[in-house]
């Protein structure tokens, strides 16, 4: 059940500060093809707002004629209809409605093959296992810890809203799914020492013209690149993962988001995803995603697996 979001005092202070200085510094976009993005009071391109990356474009290019994505249904995937966003991105200044995949590189629209090393890694998650021996078989998404990076920035079954906040020297991304909050410095500081690893990596950002470039390193090996889609979701990435994100506001209601994934221990070559983030259909605020580690789903998955094992044991004499 989702209720009103309760924001921590420090983050609330950042939100209030960002809102006050941004409104004062915004500039209306001119009515011309050479659109100029608004800027904050301190001069940075303004990316703030409540955005959605819900889209009908498939993650990888289908082998047959492209069709509108159908929401997966099955054990662990069915949800009340009011959880879903009831629209698809149809922005005028992007190509999401003509693309055949979110993967734009390699040109075939497919995630590159996995390396031989990956075959030795453990498979996690309710989308890939039917029986769970231990809580470690469940993914960190199942356990309500995080979807990682870039997984947290890629659309999933529902709750695809993001709130971007800016202050001088920082950007904050507040995620609806699992209520993650990523605080990204823009002050030129170096990355953390390599011995320090974090669930969502260590993000550092810089401006290249009107594009915010975010480089993410210092990952753990506890999350997949994508939580549900194809080969990118089957196993966790390695600690060598490097992610480069690019946020470009191309229209008042549209951010072009691109992310390049480099992990030579997991994928045979690097690859890039591109998708639009829009304000279409966005609510006034993000509601709480009431999910936490230790939730009932973990205990239920384990007890359900034990019940299945007992049922199989009772049927075993019959098979003989």
Q: How many domains does the chain have?
A: 1
pLDDT at 76: 43
Please report where in the chains the tokens 């209809």 appear, as a residue: 81
- Mean pLDDT for 15-23 is 41
* Of 96, 88, 101, residue with least CA distance to 62: 101
Residue 316: which pLDDT band, with cuts at 50, 70 and 90? Answer: confident
The reply to whether 1 falls in a domain is no
Above 50 in pLDDT, residue 4? Answer: no
Per-residue model confidence (pLDDT) at position 73? 38
H or E element that contains 214 = strand 211-217
Instruction: State the burial class of residue 303 (Cβ atoms within 10 Å of its Cβ: 0-12, 13-18, 19+).
Output: exposed
Tell me whether residue 271 is in a domain. Answer: yes
Range of the domain at 201: 9-319
- 92 burial type by CB count under 10 A (0-12 exposed, 13-18 middle, 19+ buried): exposed
Predicted local distance difference test score (pLDDT) of residue 19: 43
CA nearest to 263, candidates 225, 229, 231? 225
Q: What pLDDT shows up at residue 67?
A: 47
pLDDT band at 22 (very low <50, low <70, confident <90, very high): very low
* Residue (of 224, 218, 266) closest to 126 by Cα position: 224
Nearest one of 37, 49, 61, 85 to 273, comparing CA atoms: 61
Structure token digits, residue 260: 């390049």
Residue 20 lies in a domain: yes
Q: Tell me the range of 59-68, 97-106, 131-140, 310-319 where mean pLDDT is highest.
A: 97-106
Predicted TM-score of the model (pTM): 0.77
Model pLDDT for residues 222-267, shown as the tens digit of each residue: 998 988 887 787 789 999 999 999 999 999 999 999 999 999 999 9
Stretch 272-292: mean pLDDT: 85
Within-domain flag for 3? no
**Selected residue with higher pLDDT from 319 and 19:** 319
Q: Tell me what the mean pLDDT of segment 284-309 comes to.
A: 83
Percent of the chain with pLDDT over 70: 78
Taking only the tens place, the pLDDT of each residue in 130-177 is: 788 888 888 888 888 888 999 999 998 788 899 999 999 999 999 988
Q: What is the mean pLDDT of residues 207-225?
A: 95
Average pLDDT of every residue of the chain: 80
State the pLDDT confidence band at 320, using cuts at 50, 70 and 90. Answer: low
Please tell me the predicted confidence (pLDDT) of residue 319: 64
Q: Read off the pLDDT of each residue in 202-220 and give the average, rounded to a whole number.
A: 97
Q: Mean pLDDT across the stretch 206-231?
A: 92
Tokens of 154: 């890629």
At 87 the pLDDT is 54
| pLDDT the model gives residue 97 | 53
Q: Is residue 2 part of a domain?
A: no
pLDDT tens, residue by residue, 108-124: 999 999 999 998 887 77
Q: How confident is the model at residue 78 (pLDDT cuts 50, 70, 90)?
A: low
- The reply to whether 129 falls in a domain is yes
Q: How far, in Å, CA of 226 to CA of 152, rounded?
A: 8
Structure tokens at 272: 């890039």
Which pLDDT belongs to residue 18? 44
What pLDDT does 3 receive? 39
Q: In sequence order, what are the beta bridge partners of 249?
A: 255
Whether 117 maps to a domain, the answer reads: yes
Is 164 within the bounds of a domain? yes
């Amino acid at each position: 059940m989702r209720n009103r979001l309760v924001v921590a005092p420090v983050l609330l202070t950042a939100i209030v500060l960002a809102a006050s200085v941004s409104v004062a510094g915004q500039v209306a976009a001119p009515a011309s093809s050479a659109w100029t993005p608004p800027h904050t009071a301190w001069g940075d391109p303004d990316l703030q707002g409540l955005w959605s990356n819900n889209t009908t474009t498939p993650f990888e290019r289908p082998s047959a004629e492209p069709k509108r994505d159908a929401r997966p249904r099955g054990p662990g995937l069915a949800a009340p209809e009011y959880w879903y966003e009831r629209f698809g991105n149809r922005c005028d200044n992007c190509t999401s409605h003509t693309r055949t995949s979110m993967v734009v590189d390699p040109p075939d629209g497919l995630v590159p093959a996995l390396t031989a090393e990956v075959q030795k890694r453990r498979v996690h998650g309710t989308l890939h296992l039917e029986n769970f021996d231990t809580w470690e078989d469940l993914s960190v998404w199942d356990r309500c810890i995080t979807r990682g990076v870039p997984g947290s920035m890629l659309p999933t079954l529902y709750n695809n809203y993001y709130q971007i906040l800016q202050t001088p020297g920082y950007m904050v991304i507040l995620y609806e799914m699992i209520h993650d909050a990523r605080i990204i410095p823009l002050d030129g500081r170096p990355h953390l020492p390599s011995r320090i690893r974090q669930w969502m990596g260590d993000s550092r950002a810089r401006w290249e013209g009107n594009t915010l470039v975010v480089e993410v390193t210092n990952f753990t090996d506890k999350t997949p690149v994508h939580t549900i889609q194809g080969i990118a979701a089957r196993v966790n990435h390695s600690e060598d993962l490097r992610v480069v994100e690019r946020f470009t506001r191309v229209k008042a209601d549209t951010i072009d988001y691109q992310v390049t994934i480099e992990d030579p221990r997991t994928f045979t070559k690097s690859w890039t995803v591109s998708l639009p983030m829009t304000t279409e259909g966005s609510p006034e605020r993000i509601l709480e995603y009431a999910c936490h580690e230790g939730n009932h789903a973990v205990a239920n998955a384990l007890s359900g697996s034990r019940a299945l094992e007992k049922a199989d044991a009772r049927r075993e004499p019959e098979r003989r």
